[in-house]
């Protein structure tokens, strides 16, 4: 195995990473470090979160800095404040024996004036979120004229968050002869476009296989009725006594409801979503990192940038629409060679979506039966026995107190004491599962009744309509209390959730519209709004302008071929 020294890492950096416990380079580091230090080509590196990416680009970026030139020479773009701070912290650790190196993280949600003062003092490396860097460029508070290295970390996440225009604007302001590295877990169309437009004869490095996820992660699923999903989630948590994981939900509302229910049922849980203030988010994430809470219930957007290495579980309480999002979720566990578990709790209408994710990742997920109460209680008892066996108390501290306790319990046998200790420790579980009903699993193959419903729904109403797939029909089904709305703009048009929210805020009058699930497709989008709001949303967004194009909006129909309709409308407009 090649060493960091053989890769060409400088002595002062070697000293720092040795202090940090780095021994041998991880695969992504072994390939990226020499390519950045000695190669002439730009790089696209496809690798999962947690594979050692920060050191892979951070070490060569630091090594290429000219310390005599007090100007920004390297720029690292990250999608979130949290990831921005994490990268800055890692680079500071790598460069601790280089006291003259100056770096600064700049991000939204913090004082821009403080960041401007930091930039004016002089820096070598800027780690930034795209939005805040644009603000600083517009204020002429920073110059990128001396930047020779640009890194886009988690590029697919930045593009999913709607930063494509900001990235375009930033890259247009750096020198033409700069070196560029793009890290991404997946390679969406927008990332490929940026590579073609801004990179020079780029080299592609793939760690593993495209979209496949980490080898250390086991993928399993439970298929139950929709009303049993929460009960299944609790059984999964109860069946893993040392669980430390993230539960991903689709909407902010569902996230808060699931977290509140878990807290009420006695679990160490909390919610992380977009309705929280930055201060609240920081507090929740600190509690999670410190292990105060063992289950973090989160939306995808809120969890971006949350970096925790020792997660045991990622639980998909709601499957995402895109396989790339599932890959990102599952990549948060099984890091640094540890084993991890990615669990999907699905109902019958999510069956097709699961198969699509399997196909994209090239993995077959393992079907499991929901743990029974008997199995859970037995597992917890053995776990408690193991903890008692391994615990070695400080005799000197307990001897002065144990005499009175032994006298008080002298009428009980050792077996009686043990039974009471176990019952006391597990009282909540024993009480809860005493009369717990069985959770019925849904068979992988649709029942005759389900197939009959599907056949009826898929029967075309006219010859020009093609049958809708199960995944498409699921997209058109609104959540309870909501109504589904269609709008004729999708990801291929640069249309993202932030654009939709902006259109709603600027065009829909009256009380604030509550938005539920959003499904972005290539040429159109579907989203949920409260039933009472659907008509005024449609009226407000009908013929609304989106960068010079008039959009069409309507209440979604279950069997309409929106992909074809959207393409036809765009041709007419052209």
Strands 525-530 vs 482-487: parallel, antiparallel or unpaired: antiparallel
* CA atoms within 13 Å, Cβ hemisphere of 494: 11
Identify the pLDDT of residue 460: 35
- For residues 199 and 182, the answer to whether their CB atoms sit within 8 Å is yes
Of the two residues 297 and 520, the one the predictor is more confident about is: 297
Long-range contacts formed by 188-195: CB under 8 A, 24+ apart: 188/156, 188/159, 188/160, 188/324, 189/491, 189/492, 190/159, 190/164, 190/491, 190/494, 191/44, 191/155, 191/156, 191/159, 194/152, 194/155, 194/159, 194/164, 194/167, 194/168, 195/42, 195/44
Superfamily covering domain 11-206: P-loop containing nucleotide triphosphate hydrolases (3.40.50.300)
**Token digits of residue 413:** 């046998």
Identify the pLDDT of residue 157: 77
Identify the pLDDT of residue 73: 96
Averaged pLDDT, 323-348 = 82
What band does 76 get if pLDDT is binned at 50, 70 and 90?
A: very high
Highest mean pLDDT among 172-186, 200-214, 462-476, 487-501: 172-186
| CA neighbor of 59 nearest in space, from 74, 42, 70 | 74
Strands 313-316 vs 245-248: parallel, antiparallel or unpaired: parallel
For the CA atoms of the chain, what is the radius of gyration? 27
On the question of pLDDT at 454 being above 70, the answer is no
**Token digits of residue 258:** 């699931």
What band does 305 get if pLDDT is binned at 50, 70 and 90?
A: low
Q: Does 466-573 carry CATH code 3.30.70.330?
A: yes
Identify the pLDDT of residue 155: 82
**Token digits of residue 363:** 């993995």
Averaged pLDDT, 87-111 = 90
Alpha helices by DSSP H, listed for 161-204, are 164-171, 189-198
Strands 482-487 vs 553-555: parallel, antiparallel or unpaired: antiparallel
The overall average pLDDT reported for the chain is 82
How far apart CA 7 and CA 38 sit, in angstroms, is 10
Beta bridge partners of 203: 43
Highest mean pLDDT among 129-138, 495-504, 551-560: 129-138
Of the two residues 268 and 337, the one the predictor is more confident about is: 268
On the question of pLDDT at 112 being above 80, the answer is yes
**Topology of the domain covering 217-372:** Rossmann fold (3.40.50)
- For residues 56 and 33, the answer to whether their CB atoms sit within 8 Å is yes
**Token digits of residue 529:** 């709004």
**Token digits of residue 263:** 């807290």
Identify the pLDDT of residue 573: 56
How far apart CA 260 and CA 217 sit, in angstroms, is 28
Averaged pLDDT, 72-98 = 90
Count Cβ atoms below 10 Å from residue 333 Cβ, excluding itself.
Answer: 28
What band does 368 get if pLDDT is binned at 50, 70 and 90?
A: confident
DSSP-based three-state secondary structure for 85: helix
Q: Which residue has the tokens 């020294």?
A: 5
On the question of pLDDT at 434 being above 50, the answer is yes
Of the two residues 337 and 85, the one the predictor is more confident about is: 85
Of the two residues 261 and 21, the one the predictor is more confident about is: 261
How far apart CA 434 and CA 211 sit, in angstroms, is 43
| H/E element, 217 | strand 217-223
What band does 98 get if pLDDT is binned at 50, 70 and 90?
A: very high
Averaged pLDDT, 8-37 = 88
Q: Could you tell me which residues come within 8 angstroms of residue 15 by beta carbon, excluding any fewer than 6 positions away?
A: 97
At residue 271, what are phi and psi to the nearest 5 degrees?
A: -105, 150
Identify the pLDDT of residue 106: 93
**Digit-coded pLDDT (tens) for 458-517:** 343 332 333 344 444 456 677 778 899 999 988 777 787 777 887 888 888 888 788 888
Highest mean pLDDT among 57-71, 281-295, 325-339: 57-71
Averaged pLDDT, 288-315 = 85
Identify the pLDDT of residue 208: 54
Q: Which of 141-155, 358-372, 453-467 is predicted with the least confidence, judged by mean pLDDT?
A: 453-467
Per DSSP, 341 falls in state E
On the question of pLDDT at 174 being above 90, the answer is yes
Beta bridge partners of 297: 247, 271
- For residues 195 and 167, the answer to whether their CB atoms sit within 8 Å is no
Helix and strand numbers (H, E) in the chain are 24, 20
Q: Where are the domains of the chain?
A: 11-206, 217-372, 466-573
- For residues 72 and 147, the answer to whether their CB atoms sit within 8 Å is yes
Cα pseudo-dihedral 281, 282, 285, 291, rounded to 10: -130
How far apart CA 34 and CA 6 sit, in angstroms, is 9
**Token digits of residue 91:** 């680079």
| CA neighbor of 376 nearest in space, from 434, 318, 333 | 434
Strands 149-152 vs 179-184: parallel, antiparallel or unpaired: parallel
Q: Which residue has the tokens 């729904």?
A: 457
CB-count exposure of residue 352 (10 Å: 0-12, 13-18, 19+): middle
On the question of pLDDT at 570 being above 60, the answer is no
Identify the pLDDT of residue 469: 44
What band does 77 get if pLDDT is binned at 50, 70 and 90?
A: very high
Averaged pLDDT, 172-188 = 84
On the question of pLDDT at 275 being above 60, the answer is yes
What band does 75 get if pLDDT is binned at 50, 70 and 90?
A: very high
Q: In what order do the strands lie in the sheet with 43-46?
A: 103-106, 125-128, 74-77, 149-152, 179-184, 43-46, 203-206
Averaged pLDDT, 531-552 = 87
Identify the pLDDT of residue 448: 53
Identify the pLDDT of residue 455: 45
Share of the chain above pLDDT 70, in %: 88
Of the two residues 501 and 313, the one the predictor is more confident about is: 313
**Digit-coded pLDDT (tens) for 383-429:** 777 777 777 777 777 777 777 777 788 888 888 888 887 777 777 77
At residue 404, what are phi and psi to the nearest 5 degrees?
A: -65, -35
How far apart CA 394 and CA 261 sit, in angstroms, is 38
Q: Which residue has the tokens 């080299």?
A: 203
> pTM for this structure?
0.54
How far apart CA 401 and CA 307 sit, in angstroms, is 43
Examine domains 11-206 and 466-573 and report if their fold is the same. Answer: no
Averaged pLDDT, 431-459 = 62
Cα pseudo-dihedral 380, 382, 387, 388, rounded to 10: 120
Of the two residues 512 and 30, the one the predictor is more confident about is: 30
| CA neighbor of 554 nearest in space, from 456, 505, 484 | 484
Identify the pLDDT of residue 457: 39
**Digit-coded pLDDT (tens) for 219-247:** 999 999 888 899 999 999 988 888 999 99
């Amino acid at each position: 195995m090649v060493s960091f020294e053989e890769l060409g890492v400088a002595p002062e950096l070697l000293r720092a990473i040795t202090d940090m416990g780095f021994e041998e380079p991880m695969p992504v580091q072994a390939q990226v470090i020499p390519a950045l230090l000695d190669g002439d080509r730009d790089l696209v590196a496809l690798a999962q979160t947690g594979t050692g990416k920060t050191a892979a680009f951070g070490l060569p970026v630091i090594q290429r800095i000219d310390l005599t030139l007090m100007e920004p020479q390297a720029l690292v773009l990250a999608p979130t404040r949290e990831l921005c701070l994490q990268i800055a912290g890692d680079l500071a650790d790598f460069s601790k024996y280089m006291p003259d190196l100056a770096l600064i993280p700049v991000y939204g949600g913090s004082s821009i004036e403080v960041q401007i003062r930091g930039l004016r003092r002089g820096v070598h490396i800027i780690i930034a979120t795209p939005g805040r860097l644009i603000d600083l460029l517009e204020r002429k508070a920073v110059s990128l004229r001396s930047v020779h290295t640009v890194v886009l970390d988690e590029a697919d996440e930045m593009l999913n968050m709607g930063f494509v225009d900001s990235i375009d604007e930033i890259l247009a302001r750096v020198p033409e002869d700069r070196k560029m590295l793009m890290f991404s877990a997946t390679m969406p169309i927008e990332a490929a476009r940026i590579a073609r437009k801004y990179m020079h004869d780029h080299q592609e490095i793939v760690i593993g296989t495209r979209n496949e996820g980490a080898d250390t992660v086991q993928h399993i699923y439970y298929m139950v009725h929709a009303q049993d999903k929460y009960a299944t989630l609790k059984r999964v948590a109860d069946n893993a006594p040392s669980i430390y994981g993230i539960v991903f939900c689709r909407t902010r509302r569902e996230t808060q409801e699931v977290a509140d229910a878990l807290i009420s049922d006695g679990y160490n849980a909390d919610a992380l979503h977009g309705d929280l203030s930055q201060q609240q988010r920081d507090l929740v994430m600190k509690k999670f990192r410190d292990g105060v809470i063992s289950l973090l219930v989160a939306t995808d957007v809120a969890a971006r940038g949350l970096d925790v290495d020792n997660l045991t579980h990622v639980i998909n309480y709601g499957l995402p629409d895109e396989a790339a999002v599932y890959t990102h979720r599952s990549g948060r566990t099984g890091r640094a060679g540890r084993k991890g578990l990615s669990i999907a709790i699905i109902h019958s209408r999510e069956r097709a979506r699961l198969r699509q994710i399997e196909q994209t990742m090239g993995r077959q997920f393992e079907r499991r039966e929901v743990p029974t109460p008997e199995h859970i209680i037995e597992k917890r008892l053995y776990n408690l026995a193991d903890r008692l066996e391994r615990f070695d108390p400080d005799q000197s501290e307990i001897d002065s107190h144990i005499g009175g306790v032994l006298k008080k319990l002298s009428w009980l046998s050792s077996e009686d004491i043990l039974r009471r200790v176990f019952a006391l420790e597990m009282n909540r579980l024993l009480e809860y599962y005493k009369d717990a009903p069985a959770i019925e699993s849904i068979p992988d193959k649709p029942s005759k009744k389900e197939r009959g419903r599907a056949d009826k729904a898929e029967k075309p109403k006219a010859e020009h309509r093609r049958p809708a797939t199960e995944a498409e029909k699921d997209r058109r089904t609104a959540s309870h209390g909501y109504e589904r709305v269609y709008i004729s703009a999708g990801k291929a048009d640069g249309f993202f959730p932030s654009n939709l929210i902006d259109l709603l805020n600027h065009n829909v009058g009256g009380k604030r519209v509550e938005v539920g699930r959003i499904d972005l497709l290539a040429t159109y989008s579907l989203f949920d709004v409260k039933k009472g709001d659907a008509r005024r949303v449609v009226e407000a967004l009908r013929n609304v302008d989106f960068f010079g194009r008039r959009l069409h909006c309507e209440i979604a129909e279950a069997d309409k071929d929106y992909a074809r309709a959207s393409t036809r409308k765009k041709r007419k407009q052209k």
